[in-house]
Amino acid sequence: MKQSVHHFTISTRGKGLYEFTRTLSEWVRDQKIHTGLLTIFCRHTSASLLVQENADPTVQGDILSYFDRLAPDDGPYEHNYEGLDDMPAHLKTALTQVQLSIPVIDGGLVLGTWQGVYLFEHRVRPHRREIVLHLLGE
């Protein structure tokens, strides 16, 4: 049984879904682990992780506008140090998650056909988001 860890960053340019499924698949493949568990951890409180459909881009547009309605920028928030998108970003992170684990079988992630892994950026201004990967297996 062995472990591998990896740090990388994703540069974001405003609210949106940034897919990084291929980065994950390639890194896992390079670790030469047949069976194991990959854990993805996002080190932020205003960006999160999402598994969603990777086929039709209108799904991603609908997800963005839905979360903007669910936690609107003009809500009755006290916390707004960093602008109107500050507190909604925390709320959207709370409603999704910062950690995701995916089993690895036969050397690959067991994602479904339509599942892509996305960084869900909730802030308007550009950010560099830090992701940590941990893989355990053999």
How distant, in Å, are the alpha carbons of 33, 108, 130, 131 from that of 27? 11, 10, 16, 13
Tell me how crowded residue 38 is: count the other CB atoms within 10 A of its CB. 24
Residue 92 phi/psi, 5-degree rounding, is -65, -35
Residue 20 interacting with its own copies (CB under 8 A): no
Cα dihedral angle (41, 46, 48, 54), rounded to 10 degrees?
A: -140
- Map the footprint of its own copies across residues 36-95, applying CB under 8 A: 36-37, 39, 41, 43-45, 50-53, 56, 58-59, 61-63, 65-67, 70-71, 75-79, 81, 87, 90-91, 93-95
Of the candidates 3, 11, 30, 108, which one interacts with its own copies according to CB under 8 A? Answer: 3
# of chain residues touching its own copies (CB under 8 A): 60
H helices present in the chain, as ranges:
21-30, 57-70, 86-95
Chain residues binding its own copies by CB under 8 A are 1, 3, 5, 35-37, 39, 41, 43-45, 50-53, 56, 58-59, 61-63, 65-67, 70-71, 75-79, 81, 87, 90-91, 93-103, 105, 110-115, 130, 132-134, 136-138
